[in-house]
Amino acid sequence: MFGTLTLSAFAQGPIVLGAQLFIVLGGLCIAGLVTYLGRWRWLWDEWLTSLDAKKIGVMYMIVGVVMFVRGGIDALMMRLQQALSVGASQGYLTPEHFQQVFTGHGTIMIFFVAMPVVFGLLNLVVPPQIGARDLAFPFLNALSFWLFAGGAALVMLSLVVGQFATTGWLAYPPLSELQYSPGVGVDYWMWALQISGAGSLIAGINFVTTILTKRAPGMTLMRMPIFVWTALGSMLLVIFAFPVLTATLAMLGLDRYLGFHFFTTGGGGNMMMYVNLIWTWGHPEVYILALPFFGVFSEVVPVFSQKRLFGYTSMVVATMTIVFFSFVVWLHHFFTMGAGADVNAFFGIMTMVIAIPTGVKIFNWLFTMFRGRIIFALPMLWFLGFVALFTLGGIAGVLMAIPPADFELHNSLFLVAHFHTMIVSGVLFGLFAAISYWFPKVFGFKLEERWGVRAFWLWVVGFILAFGPLYLLGFLGATRRLDHYPAGLGWQPLFIIAGVGAVLIALGVGCQGAQIVASIRRRVQLRDATGDPWGGRTLEWALPSPLPEHTFGHIPQVESRDAWWAMKKEGHAPGVLGVPGTDRIIRVPANTPLPLYMAGALFLACFALVWHIWWLWPLSLSGFLGCIIARSFAHETERPVTL
Amino acid sequence: MFGAAGIIARQESTLIIEALLLMLVVGIPVIALAGYFAWRYRAGNKDARYEPEWEHSAMDELVWWAVPFEIVLILGALAWLSAHTLDPYRPLASSAPPLTVEVVSLNWKWLFIYPAQGVATVNYLAIPAAVPVSFRLTSDAPMNALWIPALGGQEMTMPGMVTQLHLMADGPGEYTGLSSNFSGEGFAGMQFPVYSMTQEEFAQWVAQTKAATSSLDWNSYEALAQPSDNNPAAFYRLSDPNLYTEIVNQFMASTSGGMMMDDN
């Protein structure tokens, strides 16, 4: 009846019990709160069934933040274990539990934090920046979100029912094969990535189509805001890279479920093929995450320097160069797998080449500041923090592009420190800049500054304390993923400092929570009455805040880059694009619960596959197909809004 | 990188330091420039020039495409040359004949086989100083990577395949070796001491180990290969000189022919 699922899947010891109770009680509390406030109908009508990109963007962000807290708790658990587990002390986690925690941390932070905030941001910003009311395929957009949410739910469920993978976030075989990982952990990991990955691919297609076909009249490619260019680059990478991930995981799945031998030890399997394939996806993935935030900085720096972006054309060329080269560097993730010197050197040099356009972007931002009038608002602070950390992290990265240097640094904590520097400064600082910058556009009031500044300094100082020691530990020969190490190596003080840094970062996150609360309480004073609180340059700032349901009252004719800046010079007042044109009735996508049902069906199907519940997955899959058929009969997919 | 005690590790450390300095020559000014521009062109400073429409200068942009390009040209040359001179597959030049050590990563311990000496060890590596050591690496477990940071870079071990690594210790000493590629539950315990000793000491050590009571052949190997963690050092007489080849080739049984995966 329940496949391999038995009651023992729930009994995981006291620490996991705490997490289980936290998740279950947390869920009940939220449900209780919604019931108490009588908000179920509102939640369903306004959010869960919405096809509106503005709402879907916010939901992506909320789930991303929730998962960020989960991944952050994982990080603190790892720091505590490594600070304690030295010599005679074994720390407070078993090796197996520690391994679940670091696998969960990596998987969650990349797939269920960084990816959703990218998609969330694109949902919120791309349509108003290009003068579109919605995406090309609103239904698929909701489906993308719900598939992602289904994957996230599967990861969280693995904490309550059974275990998560203990293989590291990329699950190299043969460790991830049945022979060495017979439990449900790898299956949870694999299916969570499969459904959220399908969502990502659909979203990539959706955004590329949107950007190519739904721009306002007159907005040629070379008049698009740089954020839209970077979104386009990132989503092109999604389209080319994610099918590789899907195929690779499918092959691993065939190995695990049907006794195939793609990557097994013996039987003609070749694990090196997996490593190549997973990084063929994995390296472009880095730029899928980073590019949109380069775009954010390209929006933020000109606005707060009160000056045009320097070197627009260079920025476009640099972005597209990065897109191309991101597909020819994957081998630098395994210089130590025995490829010859020629191959290693080729991929090393390609890796350095990709640093050139990145360097150009940094110079262009700096020369945007040059002869500007810089306002040190929060987004600008995050930018400055980003420049300093990203430059240093980039140097560490180019260093490891030299194969023999990598031989002494690969899989050490130096590597861990390097990619955290890039992702924290590139993705998270970019995200924080983006949130401070676009928050008023989405919610109608600005975020208050004081808690934001505190958060900034805690993040920067905490980051240096948390990852500076890891660079040193890498030089000392400390490898990643150690649940225990001998006392004689002298690593413990550095791990303790890193732990202190992690606590400071956690306090920074706390300040960000306080910032949201304080801003909500002071929302009347912080209200963005004009819709253009920063002196913006792009179309979204010509709209009222928060954006109305139909986004644009009328679609403008774009005559130049920085379209809103040009309109302002011609004397247009803020909020001008919210004013209706000749069209008084605008059609927006009608709500439908089908995307939610479809993702729910796939979630159940994956759960059934994880636990080998053979009757449930065909049933769920039929439900999924039934939804597709039902949708094909839907006539009224839009509803009118009268302005 | 700190405490290099072998010719490879020293060259790799030098390479790391040179490359770092070269990049900091650009990186530090960039960060300084960001700080300076931020300060100089702050909104409150009305003395600074303000040119809100200045957005393009072909010359300037050429310069900052060129600067990273030049650096990459130099680093690229460095990468190409060093990838070849420090290729882990490249035998080390020395007047002393090399010592071959066959390495098998197991769940979760290291097996070192000295075919010419007829001995084997677990979680204990003895090598003669100033003699090139030619490691032949494989795995009978998930992937691992052999890394002795003081002596030089790492190389991965994979079942059914043989990779190579060449290292040489400068002089006698004691170092730590470990696995750098995560391989499962007992991974953290895959650390072992590396003893570099004079040639006489090494010969003595071999003779001593040869007198060990336990011997290693396929049967005792199969028992050894069972998962276990935090294994203490163990010493064996090698009674099956082809053991390593058998370990590597065991996965070929189900396919046709007896092709050797060892590329020697």
Closest CA to A610 of A275, A282, A193, A20: A193
User: Does the distance separating the beta carbons of B145 and A372 come in below 8 Å?
Assistant: no
Residue B258 has pLDDT above 80, yes or no: no
B41 plus B136 within the same structural domain:
no
A348 close to B (CB below 8 A): yes
pLDDT digit string, tens, across residues A499-527? 999 999 999 999 999 999 999 999 999 99
B136 plus B238 within the same structural domain:
yes
CB burial of A280-315 (b: ≥16 within 10 Å; e: otherwise) equals bbbbbbbbbbbbbbbbbbbbbbbbbbbbbbbbbebb
Distance CA A411, CA A473 (A): 12
DSSP state of A87: T
Query: Could you give the percent of chain A with pLDDT greater than 90?
Result: 94
B148 plus B115 within the same structural domain:
yes
User: Does the distance separating the beta carbons of B254 and A402 come in below 8 Å?
Assistant: no
Residues in A 380-399 with any Cβ partner in B closer than 8 A:
384, 387-388, 391-392, 394-395, 398-399
pLDDT at position B182 is: 98
**Complex ipTM:** 0.95
Omega prior to A14 cis, within 30 of 0: no
Q: Is the dihedral of CA B244, B250, B255, B256 positive or negative?
A: positive
CB burial of A612-628 (b: ≥16 within 10 Å; e: otherwise) equals ebeebbeebeebbeebe
A367 close to B (CB below 8 A): yes
User: Does the distance separating the beta carbons of A353 and B179 come in below 8 Å?
Assistant: no
Q: How many angstroms away from the CA of B71 is the closest CA of chain A?
A: 9
Q: Which helix (H) or strand (E) holds A30?
A: helix A14-37
Q: How many CB atoms lie within 10 A of CB A6?
A: 11
Q: Provide the pairing of β-strand B152-157 with B119-122.
A: unpaired
Distance CA A318, CA A321 (A): 5
Cα torsion A171, A177, A181, A183 to 10°: value is: 100
Q: Give the residue on A whose Cα is nearest the Cα of B252.
A: A266
Domain span at B117? 99-249
Closest CA to A145 of A71, A74, A196: A196
Closest CA to A165 of B185, B109, B145, B178: B185
pLDDT at position A505 is: 98
Let me know if residue B257 belongs to a domain: no
- Mean pLDDT, rounded, of chain B: 93
Q: Is the dihedral of CA A600, A603, A605, A611 positive or negative?
A: negative
Q: In what order do the strands lie in the sheet with B99-106?
A: B163-167, B133-139, B99-106, B109-114, B119-122, B234-238, B215-216
Can you read off the two tokens belonging to residue A196? 């959220």
Q: How many angstroms away from the CA of B41 is the closest CA of chain A?
A: 5
Let me know if residue B258 belongs to a domain: no
From chain B, the residues in CB contact with A388 under 8 A are 31, 34
Q: Give the residue on B whose Cα is nearest the Cα of A561.
A: B55
Separation in Å, CA A205 to CA A113, A210, A235: 20, 8, 7
pLDDT digit string, tens, across residues A26-55? 999 999 999 999 999 999 999 999 999 999
Can you read off the two tokens belonging to residue A235? 């989503």
Domains in chain B: how many in total?
2
What single-letter amino acid sits at B95? S
Residues in A 278-317 with any Cβ partner in B closer than 8 A:
305-314
B243 plus B121 within the same structural domain:
yes
DSSP per-residue string spanning B94-123: -SSPPEEEEEEEETTEEEEEETTTTEEEES
Closest CA to A183 of A162, A169, A197, A201: A162
Separation in Å, CA A374 to CA A226, A339, A383, B44: 20, 49, 12, 8
What single-letter amino acid sits at A125? V
Q: How many angstroms away from the CA of A103 is the closest CA of chain B?
A: 11
Q: Residues B167, B4: contact at Cβ < 8 Å?
A: no
DSSP state of B140: S
At B195, which CATH number? 2.60.40.420
pLDDT at position B253 is: 61
User: Does the distance separating the beta carbons of B84 and A410 come in below 8 Å?
Assistant: no
Let me know if residue B142 belongs to a domain: yes
Identity of the residue in B31, B65, B188 whose CB atom sits nearest the CB atom of A485: B188
User: Does the distance separating the beta carbons of A359 and B68 come in below 8 Å?
Assistant: yes
Let me know if residue B208 belongs to a domain: yes
Let me know if residue B91 belongs to a domain: no
B124 plus B224 within the same structural domain:
yes
Q: Residues A308, A249: contact at Cβ < 8 Å?
A: no
pLDDT at position A504 is: 98
User: Which residues of chain A are under the pLDDT cut of 50?
Assistant: none
What single-letter amino acid sits at A30? I
Distance CA B7, CA B13 (A): 10
Q: Residues B153, A191: contact at Cβ < 8 Å?
A: no
Let me know if residue B115 belongs to a domain: yes
**What residues have CB less than 8 Å from A599, skipping those under 6 apart?**
A143, A146, A147, A149, A150, A195, A199
Q: How many angstroms away from the CA of B243 is the closest CA of chain A?
A: 18
pLDDT at position A324 is: 97
Q: Residues A80, A72: contact at Cβ < 8 Å?
A: no
Distance CA A639, CA A546 (A): 21
Let me know if residue B144 belongs to a domain: yes
B140 plus B16 within the same structural domain:
no
Distance CA A386, CA A367 (A): 16
B107 plus B206 within the same structural domain:
yes
Q: Residues A499, A539: contact at Cβ < 8 Å?
A: no
From chain A, the residues in CB contact with B35 under 8 A are 384
Distance CA A96, CA A31 (A): 33
Mean pLDDT for B45-70 is 91
Query: How buried is A88 (Cβ within 10 angstroms: 0-12 exposed, 13-18 middle, 19+ buried)?
Result: exposed
B74 plus B153 within the same structural domain:
no
pLDDT digit string, tens, across residues B227-256? 999 999 999 999 999 999 999 999 986 544
B103 plus B218 within the same structural domain:
yes
B79 backbone dihedrals φ, ψ, rounded to 5°: -65, -45
Q: How many angstroms away from the CA of A3 is the closest CA of chain B?
A: 26
Q: How many angstroms away from the CA of A425 is the closest CA of chain B?
A: 14
User: Does the distance separating the beta carbons of A308 and B53 come in below 8 Å?
Assistant: yes
What single-letter amino acid sits at B185? E
pLDDT at position B129 is: 97
B73 plus B109 within the same structural domain:
no
Can you read off the two tokens belonging to residue A308? 């045009």
From chain A, the residues in CB contact with B182 under 8 A are 99, 167-168, 175, 411, 480-481
Can you read off the two tokens belonging to residue A55? 């709402």
What is the separation, in whole angstroms, between the first and last Cα of chain A?
55
> Which of B2, B11, B23 to mutate: most A Cβ within 10 Å?
B23
State pTM to two decimals. Answer: 0.96
B134 plus B60 within the same structural domain:
no
DSSP per-residue string spanning A452-502: HHHHHHHHHHHHHHHHHHHHHHHHTTPBSS-S-B-GGG--HHHHHHHHHHH
User: Does the distance separating the beta carbons of B2 and A369 come in below 8 Å?
Assistant: no
pLDDT at position A78 is: 97
Chain center to CA of A565: 30
pLDDT at position A325 is: 96
DSSP per-residue string spanning A268-331: T--HHHHHHHHHHHHHHHHHHHHHHHHHHHHHHHHHHHTSPPS-HHHHHHHHHHHHHHTTS-GG
Q: Give the residue on B whose Cα is nearest the Cα of A356.
A: B68
Q: How many CB atoms lie within 10 A of CB A89?
A: 11
pLDDT at position A195 is: 97
Q: Is the dihedral of CA A431, A360, B23, A231 positive or negative?
A: positive
Mean pLDDT for B188-200 is 97
B119 plus B61 within the same structural domain:
no
pLDDT digit string, tens, across residues A318-329? 999 999 999 999
Dihedral class, residue B125 (left if φ above 0, else alpha if ψ from -120 to 50, else beta): beta
Q: Is the dihedral of CA A185, A188, A191, A193 positive or negative?
A: negative
> Which of B181, B228, B252, B264 to mutate: most A Cβ within 10 Å?
B181
Q: How many angstroms away from the CA of A125 is the closest CA of chain B?
A: 24
Closest CA to A485 of A79, A78, A75, A82: A82
> Which of B7, B16, B123, B190 to mutate: most A Cβ within 10 Å?
B16
Let me know if residue B94 belongs to a domain: no
Residue B259 has pLDDT above 70, yes or no: no
Residue B263 has pLDDT above 70, yes or no: no
